[in-house]
Amino acid sequence: MGNCCNNNFQDESQYSILMEKVGSSINLLSPPAIDTISSSDSQVISNISEKRIQEILVSEKDTCPGIKEDASITNQTPEEGYYKCMCGSFYIWKTDIVFWHYEKFGDWNIRCDFCLSYFSKSAWKCKHCEKIMCKDCGINEGMQACIENCVNSHELLWTPNSHVYNKSVYLCTLCKKYRKEPSWSCRGCEYYMCLHCGIQKGLKPNINLLVCKEKKPLFHYKRSEIAFVCNKCNEVSYKNSFSCNSCDYSICTHCSESILASMITHPGFKCRKNHDFCVMKNKEFIENKGKMCSCLKCDNVFDKFGYLCGECSEGYCLKCGDDIIKTIEDYSGIKCGKGHCLFWNPSIDNESGNVCMVCWKKSFCGCFRCEECEINVCVDDISRIN
pLDDT tens digit string along 192-251?
999 889 988 888 888 888 889 888 888 888 777 678 889 999 888 888 888 887 888 999
In this model, does residue 137 exceed pLDDT 90? yes
In 284-316, which positions are buried (b, 16+ CB within 10 angstroms) versus exposed (e)?
ebeeeeeeebbbbbeeeebeebbbbbbeeebbb
Whole-angstrom CA distances from 192 to 23, 150, 162, 163 are: 29, 8, 10, 12
Q: What is the mean pLDDT of residues 357-369?
A: 88
CB 117 within 8 A of CB 134: yes
Q: Is 16 a member of any domain? A: no
* Paired strand residues for 279: 307
Distance from C-alpha of 331 to C-alpha of 316, rounded to nearest angstrom: 20
Q: Which residues contact 23 (CB under 8 A, 6 or more apart)?
A: none
Q: Are residues 165 and 254 in the same domain?
A: yes
Total of domains in the chain: 4
Whether residue 211 is found in the same domain as residue 232: yes
What stretches of 280-352 show up as alpha helix (H) in DSSP? 282-289, 318-331
Position 64 scores a pLDDT of 38
Average pLDDT estimate for 100-112: 93
Amino acid at 271: C
Shared domain check, 340 and 285: no
The candidate with the shortest Cα–Cα distance to 84, out of 135, 54, 46, is: 46
Q: Left (φ > 0), alpha (ψ -120 to 50) or beta: where does 338 sit? A: alpha
Q: Looking at the structure, do residues 254 and 330 belong to the same domain, yes or no?
A: no
pLDDT at site 166: 67
Please tell me the predicted confidence (pLDDT) of residue 350.
62
In a domain, 281, yes or no: yes
Residues 43, 109, single domain; the answer is yes
How do residues 305-336 score in pLDDT, each as one tens digit? 889 887 888 889 888 999 999 999 999 999 98
Q: Are residues 306 and 335 in the same domain?
A: no
- 55 in the same domain as 77: yes
Mean pLDDT of 7-11: 40
Same domain, 284 and 248: no
Amino acid 62: pLDDT: 37
What domain range includes position 99?
Answer: 39-140
Q: Where residue 386 falls among pLDDT bands split at 50, 70, 90?
A: low
Q: Which of 112, 140, 168 lies at the terminal end of a domain, its last residue?
A: 140
Q: Are residues 168 and 246 in the same domain?
A: yes
User: What's the mean pLDDT in 372-381?
Assistant: 90
- What span, in angstroms and rounded, lies between the C-alpha atoms of 296 and 354? 12
Confidence of residue 80 (pLDDT cuts 50, 70, 90): very low
Q: Report pLDDT digits (tens) over 250-294.
A: 998 888 888 888 888 899 999 988 899 888 877 766 666 666 778
Q: Is the CB of residue 158 less than 8 Å from the CB of residue 182? A: yes
Q: Does residue 129 sit in the same domain as residue 195?
A: no
Task: Indicate yes or no: pTM above 0.75.
Answer: no
Residue 9 placed within a domain: no
At residue 345, does pLDDT exceed 70?
Answer: yes
pLDDT-derived band at 82, boundaries 50, 70, 90: low
Q: What mean pLDDT comes out for the span 174-184?
A: 88
Taking the C-alpha atoms of residue 53 and residue 34, their distance in angstroms, rounded to an integer, is 38
Looking at 41-50, 314-323, 350-359, which range is the least confident one?
41-50
Q: Any idea what DSSP says for residue 82? A: -
The domain boundary residue, chosen from 260, 276, 291: 260
How far apart are alpha carbons 343 and 118 in whole angstroms? 9
Number of H helices, E strands in the chain: 7, 25
Measuring CA to CA, which residue among 122, 131, 134 is closest to residue 97? 122
Q: Taking all residues of the chain, what is their mean pLDDT, rounded to a whole number? A: 76
- The pLDDT score that the predictor gives to residue 97 is 92
Domain shared by 343 and 253, yes or no: no
Contact 367, 59 (CB under 8 A): no
For residue 71, pLDDT over 70 is answered with no
Residues 6+ apart with CB under 8 A from 82: 9, 10, 76, 90, 91, 92
Measured CA to CA, the distance from residue 352 to residue 181 in angstroms comes to 39
34 found inside a domain: no
What is the mean predicted confidence (pLDDT) over 1-21? 37
pLDDT of 75 reads 37
Angstrom distances, CA of residue 155 to CA of 48, 119, 145: 34, 17, 12
Structural domain ending residue among the three candidates 320, 340, 357? 320
Task: Return the closest-CA partner of residue 85 out of 120, 113, 121, 110.
Answer: 113
Residues present in the chain in total: 386
Q: Is residue 308 part of a domain?
A: yes
Give CA–CA dist 366/269, Å, rounded: 9
Q: Is residue 4 part of a domain?
A: no
Q: Based on the fold, state whether residues 253 and 176 are members of the same structural domain.
A: yes
Cβ contact 30:108 at 8 Å = no
Residue 226 placed within a domain: yes
> For residue 113, is it within any domain?
yes
